[in-house]
Amino acid sequence: MPQLILITLFAFMLSDLMPGDWVAFQMVGGEFTFEEIQAERARLGLDDPWFVQYTNWLTSLVQGDWGHSHRANLPVRDVIFGYRFWNTIRLSLMSTIMFFLLAVPLGILAGRYYRRWPDKLIILYGFMGAALPNVVLGLVLIWFFGIYLSVLPPIGSVDTMVHAFGTPFEIFISQLRHLILPSMALATFSGIGMMYILRTGIVDGRSSDYAMTARSKGVPERVIFNKHILRNSLIPFAQGIGFTFTGLMGGSVLIENIFRFPGMGQLFVNSIVAQDTPVAIGLIFFYSALAVLAVLIGDIALAATDPRIRVR
């Protein structure tokens, strides 16, 4: 709770530093008198100091009210947890699956063949990922698969005609096809850090005391690797499971805007541009709560994989 309070407090302080507000964004320059503009600003509480606005927001939040969106003229909770929320959940789940399909095999392969050509190729892949941002990769994927080959939809979350006239199965297939490119852009290089963690754990495990003891007893190398080295190497990897999902959700902000994918990331950017502060603050609070939840999930996963934690 102290973390959430500090993060949202900092967000309110930053929003106060932004020039203008929602009323200025919408009404200034239009057919409104100065008195009408001031009255609307007072009605929305925008004339209050930021700490007064924060206190009012926090009091409403405790009562279950996340505020009211100026732009959509709807409760913030309805705006956040509408169809955009489920689009981002689908994108994050697909990205997480791709993430593990890449990070786990590559980490195991690099650790198993340490300093040999598979390890060197995987390290080269890691350097490429460090140098190539997800945004650039997304643009390359749009050009190659969406425009040059025209085999996958480059933008959107579902085909308009299919959504209007298709069967539920056709809608599902269309949504799945629209998820592939943004998920690839998110997951292709996001797993490099976890891959290195797994690789390092395997390399350290190969020279550990328990591995050397097992070898001295004549245990086959395959059994040593699968039952001892790999299991111990997965312990720090398991702790990052919660952070992986939430990190991919947070990383979707730019990807969703590039692919024009109507999710929470696109909503966050649009709310900042339109100075719809209640929605932006609500999304910051949601992502912060999700990060706190990721710590809990990581601790549970660590206890499930490391018997020493359970004993302690």
CA–CA gap between residue 15 and residue 51 (Å, rounded): 11
Q: For residue 220, give the amino acid letter.
A: P
What's residue 197's pLDDT? 85
pLDDT in the model for residue 298: 76
The DSSP call for residue 201 is H
Kindly report the number of other CB atoms within 10 A of residue 62's CB atom. 8
pLDDT tens track, the chain, 312 positions: 788 888 888 888 888 787 777 777 676 666 677 777 778 778 777 778 888 888 888 888 888 888 888 888 889 999 998 888 999 889 988 988 888 888 889 999 998 898 899 999 999 998 888 888 888 899 999 999 999 999 999 999 999 888 888 888 999 999 999 999 999 998 888 878 888 888 888 888 888 888 888 888 888 888 888 888 887 887 777 667 667 767 777 777 888 889 999 988 889 988 888 888 889 899 988 888 888 887 787 777 777 776 666 655
For residue 177, with 0-12 CB atoms within 10 Å meaning exposed, 13-18 middle and 19 or more buried, which class applies?
A: middle
CATH architecture assigned to 87-311: Orthogonal Bundle (1.10)
198-233 pLDDT, tens digit each: 888 888 888 888 888 888 888 888 888 888 888 788
Rounded (to 5) percent helix, strand, coil in the chain: 75, 0, 20
Distance between CA 248 and CA 133 in Å, rounded? 14
DSSP 142: I
Query: CA Rg, the chain, in Å?
Result: 24
Residue ranges per structural domain of the chain: 2-65, 87-311
Q: 150 in the Ramachandran plot: left (φ > 0), alpha (ψ -120 to 50) or beta? A: left
| Helical pair 264-273 and 277-305, crossing angle rounded to 10 deg | 150
State residue 163 phi and psi, 5-degree precision. -65, -35
User: What pTM value is reported for the model?
Assistant: 0.82
Tokens at residue 11, please?
């967000």
β-bridge partners, 68: 75
Burial 20-41, CB ≥16 within 10 A → b, else e: ebbbeebeeeeeeeeeebeebb
Q: Which residue has the tokens 């085999």?
A: 151
pLDDT tens track for 286-306: 888 888 887 787 777 777 776
